[in-house]
Structure 1
Amino acid sequence: MTRGSLFHEAFSLPKYWWKVSKVDTENLQVERTSFGPHRRQYYLTVSPQTVKKESLVIYLHGGGWCLGKPEQFIQNALLFTQRGYKVVIPSYRRVPYYNLLSIREDLIQFLKTLKTQKMKQGLPGLLFSGISAGGHLASLMALDRSIPSSGGWSEGSVKGLLTWAAPLDFGSLPNTLPLRWLKRGTNESDQRMFNPLFHLEKNHSFPIAGAFGTADGLIPNKTNENFWLLAQKTKKRERHLELPNTHLELATWSLSDSSYWGHANDLLDFIEDSQ
């Protein structure tokens, strides 16, 4: 079976989901908060037993903008909770019933609700992270200043961006069905605003880091290569890892017995040391 093909990705997913479902998260405290009337408009706050960090990690899970829910990805918080971070995992309305504009509205409303919840404790910094489609949305929330601003957060509240196997240049993506669903009802200007690459040239003071595999059957290498090349040209504080012949193995960074756990910690070290 050829690595880097859609069939190989689909065949490998059940094994990955089974493995991550076995991760022990019993020591984590999980709280659910709604930010709208739709059943998808909520977020989970995942807390370690002892909170040591002032910043919050905003983590968005993968699933092609249409699959999964935060409860299935609590184990992805472990990389951050073991350092003392609280992790917030938002949900949002999905394709095919909603498009990019609706998802953007949800991300903003989520940030508004989060700010209201945190105001009494003092507003924390925000470290955005995500994998695959979630990495795309995390990138937009960090790089498109209008999103945190519309959610009531200052520009200085963004402390970093950390992505995994994320489509960071929409112009290099194949015209798949989920992408057509995302774009439905939008114009070229809207679509440009939803391309992380478009926002990268703006001045950003926070560090960015990421990793991607060269055998990803869903996201072409070009989407990451273009992004990180521009990050270097525009002298961003960046670090990225290109991992040869990998695909879903990269998603196991959230498992402490995975060889990718070390890569994940190295990139998070870079983010923390560069703030």
Structure 2
Amino acid sequence: MTRRGIFAGLGAVSLGGLVAACSPLGMLNTLGPRDRGVRRIARDLSYGDDPRQRFDLYGPDWRPGQPLRPVVVFFYGGGWDSGSRSLYGWAAQALAARGFVVALPDYRIVPNVVFPTFIEDAAAATARVAEVVGQYGGDPARLAVAGHSAGAHLAMMIALDRRYMAAVGKPDLIRAAAGLAGPYEFLPFDVPASVNAFGRAPDPTLTQPVTFVRADAPPLWLGHGTADTVVHDEDTVILNQRMQDVGGRSEAKLYPGLDHADLIATFSPLFRKKAPVLDDVSAFVHRELGS
């Protein structure tokens, strides 16, 4: 299904009515208040040899003997060709304040790599998080993945296509997956971002999360803004329906009037009143993983 203009702004999405159009989501690292009681508890943890194969952890201070928290691995967006964990600490901290230990990985990006390398990185990062998170108060037996935009694509690919987590030796690790404003069905490749990232794939259908819907997949939560013109909300509608058609567990929520950047910006205390996206994601993950 073709949607002209999809991904055209993924590498430079801005906050629209929030600030000037040239201001990126990363400005929320410095704008306004941050959630209290949690912080970055580890930085620059490695899951590979490349400088971009690193992740940070967010959560409360923790000592051995205290209860372990469920874990969320969160992937930021950026059109598969941009982005940095240094810009999204505010989003990870917001999730951590909802009761999770949150991992925020970088991953290798276009043009240095193409599909499927960034998805392989997502799987490798998730597996490594599970190996080390117990030292920081996280429970690796209760792990979910989540992401926004291109990061939602990564999260859904490693949750749905069995091959990626099997390749890192943890085929049953992911217990739930949440996607915000994700591209899940975007053939043909007709804009530079998708051409550059996926255009050399021998079988383009293997780049699409909708290809891998299955009844025994981890439960999915899918959120989208109805005013999103970067990735249209039909992607969420399609993936949700196809999961349900095969007997999988999936739920979707559309947020009236929110655009592509708005959806994740509501994680910030500055814009949380616009829509209960953070509460909805958190409630889903807690329900599926246990508090």
Q: TM-score, normalised by structure 1?
A: 0.84
Residues 185-208 of structure 1, C-alpha deviations (whole Å, 9 max, x = no match): 3211xx32221111113422x321
Between stretches 265-274 and 210-219, larger displacement belongs to: 265-274
Match of 1:160 in 2: 176
| Offset of residue 272 of structure 1 | 2.4
Match of 1:113 in 2: 128
Match of 1:132 in 2: 149
Gaps of 5+ in 1: none
Match of 1:178 in 2: 193
| Offset of residue 99 of structure 1 | 0.3
Work out the percentage of aligned pairs sharing the same amino acid. 19
Instruction: Name the CA distance, whole Å, in 2 between partners of 1:78 and 1:219.
Output: 25
Are 2:198 and 2:207, in contact at CA under 8 Å, matched by a contact in 1? no
Instruction: Name the CA distance, whole Å, in 2 between partners of 1:59 and 1:19.
Output: 16
Query: What secondary structure is seen at the aligned counterpart in 1 of 2:116?
Result: helix
Q: 1:72 to 1:200 in 2, by over 3 A?
A: same
Instruction: Name the CA distance, whole Å, in 2 between partners of 1:13 and 1:52.
Output: 43
Is 1:24 the counterpart of 2:34 in the alignment?
yes
| Offset of residue 142 of structure 1 | 1.3
Query: What secondary structure is seen at the aligned counterpart in 2 of 1:170?
Result: coil
Match of 2:242 in 1: 230
Match of 1:245 in 2: 257
Match of 2:3 in 1: none
Structure number having the greater helix percentage: 1
- Pick aligned residue for 1:263 from 265, 268, 277: 277
| Offset of residue 69 of structure 1 | 0.6
- The amino acid that maps onto 1:251 is I
- Pairs aligned (count): 267
Is 1:211 the counterpart of 2:228 in the alignment?
no
- Pick aligned residue for 1:194 from 203, 207, 232: 207
| Offset of residue 56 of structure 1 | 1.6
Query: What secondary structure is seen at the aligned counterpart in 2 of 1:57?
Result: strand
Q: 1:15 to 1:182 in 2, by over 3 A?
A: closer
Query: What secondary structure is seen at the aligned counterpart in 1 of 2:201?
Result: coil
Is 1:254 the counterpart of 2:281 in the alignment?
no
Match of 1:44 in 2: 56
| Offset of residue 112 of structure 1 | 4.4
| Offset of residue 104 of structure 1 | 3.0
| Offset of residue 241 of structure 1 | 1.2
Q: TM-score, normalised by structure 2?
A: 0.80
Instruction: Name the CA distance, whole Å, in 2 between partners of 1:55 and 1:43.
Output: 17
Residues 171-220 of structure 1, C-alpha deviations (whole Å, 9 max, x = no match): 3x7621111111143211xx32221111113422x321121112222112
| Offset of residue 265 of structure 1 | 0.9
| Offset of residue 169 of structure 1 | 1.5
| Structural mapping, 1:30-69, within 5 Å | 30-50=42-62, 53-69=68-84
Between stretches 6-15 and 19-28, larger displacement belongs to: 6-15
Instruction: Name the CA distance, whole Å, in 2 between partners of 1:79 and 1:151.
Output: 29
- The amino acid that maps onto 2:180 is W
Q: 1:260 to 1:267 in 2, by over 3 A?
A: farther
Query: What secondary structure is seen at the aligned counterpart in 2 of 1:93?
Result: coil
